Amino acid sequence: MHYDPISVSSTAAPTPAPAAPAFKPSYLARGIAAFSGMPGFVVKIVFLCVVNALAIWAAAVLAGRHNWPAFAVLVLSTAMIDAIYLVPRRPGLIPLKFLVPGTIFLVAFQIAPILYTVNVAFTNYSTGHIIGKAAAITAIKQNSLQPAQSGTTYVMAPARDRSGKLVLILQDSTSGKTYVGTPKGLTPIPSAAVTVKDGAIAGATGYTLVPEKELFAIGQKLTAYRVPLGGDAAIQPQGFNTAVPLQPSLRYDPKRDVFVRISDGAVFRDNGRGSFVSAAKEELEPGWSTHVGFLNFSRGIHDPLVRNPFLRVLVWTFVFAGGTVFLAFALGLFLAITLDKPGLRFQRGYRSIMVIPYAVPGFLSLLVWGGLLNDDFGVVNRLFHIHIPWLFDPNWAKVSVIMVSTWLTVPYFFLVAMGALQSIPKELIEAAKVDGGGAFAIFRRVTLPLLLVAVAPLLIASFAFNFNNFNNIYLLTGGGPATNDQAVAGSTDILISYTYKIAFAAGKGNDYGLASSIGIVIFFIVATVSGISFWRTKALESVR
């Protein structure tokens, strides 16, 4: 038998496989790859240089303030970051390279503010109790300075010496003697060296008077200027042209740590709460910031000026948050069921209209609603020819707040309910109909229980959100209208807006310590309500 070698080779040769498609990495993958190797190393070094430069600056500031614990933490943290990113190819350090940035932001923006708030809650940090004790003693000494009984006054002119330092050119209005006042004391100068014109100092030999256009720029510095006269007495400027000698009305005794009033001998002692107080309950200002234990929490229980409005605001907060969530969920579910009917005309248009309040920025909607509900000029009253004080009557203001908050929240629950309804098996609904169930019975026994399995965690989250919904209260009513029992908490204030007012507009000013303690109480209230709600709805088991 004869075999053709050409035909044998052609038939025996294997068929070549099709070429695999070329792999094209995404732009993101190519961008990440571009920073590998030397470019990535350079970026890392630059980043570490910036971090270390900031750390050196912060370390210098902390060392200057003698804050050694924070200084040690900063140095150790910076050294640890450098070691994690500079030690080459250590498998155990690879996860840390990804965890360190997130941990830094977590500590900086979550843990540190929480710890700071807790610390402030146990202090008297408030207006009049901001500075330290040493600074407070110095301030009390300065505040106790009063015009001398002699009635002496000085014609004054701010000037600068040859080195550019601020001094005071002074002329005694009674004797006509002239002086130069500095923070070190009073120095006599010849009267011929001072030029006086129309009762004002027009010049001084060896000194340059501050021009009038620069006086306002140094006004704050001039107000704090003191020329010591011995002891605690000093000459202090009164405006730009006059100065008066001041004598202390209080004397500080460092050994006993007390202030003694010179006129009557009254003694002001440290009361342990950041103030010097006399036996007659007179308090010197300013005080200083210090730890006071559970005093702020105790005020919420024993002080009626704090307890009574707090309890009233607490009840209203539950009503506001619960009412808003209940009404918004009920309306959102009703609209979702209504617009879920198959074959409904303009279904997409209706759904889009329902989402409009959710698409408009909330703060803008609240400001618009504030105008619509205005008592005299609002569109609502004019359109329906009614005169309802929506924002100026305590009861109607509460109705307005819940109504507007519901309007803003309905789109959220509408979208949630629409998605949850799609997840309910149609077979269960059909089986319920076959068993003779009516529309309401099917909704109550089948649709709603299955819906709540998915929606219950969102209801709890929405309650927690509205419990602290500062914007809806402050932008719509400002917490008002005012009440008769006290001046801080208004009729529609909830706990978070009440806390804000305490922090920035309570009593003599800002009471950060009390506000922080109420903030901690709010946290425990929300955590307790959320925990009980999750437990009762078995939502945690569903998530697991």
pLDDT digits 0-9 by tens, 195-251: 988 889 999 999 999 998 888 888 888 988 989 988 778 899 988 899 999 989 999
* Cα three-residue angle 423-428-432, rounded to 5 degrees: 140
pLDDT at 508: 62
CB 478 within 8 A of CB 494: no
Class of domain 147-248: mainly beta
pLDDT at 516: 95
pLDDT at 19: 56
10 Å CB burial of residue 240 (0-12, 13-18, 19+) is: middle
pLDDT at 536: 77
Domain coordinates in residue numbering, the chain:
29-121, 147-248, 302-543
pLDDT digits (tens, 9 = 90+) for 496-538: 999 999 998 765 678 999 999 999 999 999 999 988 888 877 6
pLDDT at 284: 94
pLDDT at 525: 93
Q: Phi and psi (nearest 5°) for 235?
A: -100, 130
If you count them, how many residues does the chain have? Answer: 544
10 Å CB burial of residue 452 (0-12, 13-18, 19+) is: middle
Q: What CA–CA distance (Å, rounded) separates 155 from 195?
A: 12
Q: What CA–CA distance (Å, rounded) separates 4 from 102?
A: 74
Architecture of domain 302-543: Orthogonal Bundle (1.10)
pLDDT at 13: 52
CB 293 within 8 A of CB 277: no
Q: What CA–CA distance (Å, rounded) separates 36 from 447?
A: 54
pLDDT at 543: 43
Residue ranges in the chain whose pLDDT is less than 50: 1-3, 5-11, 539-540, 542-544
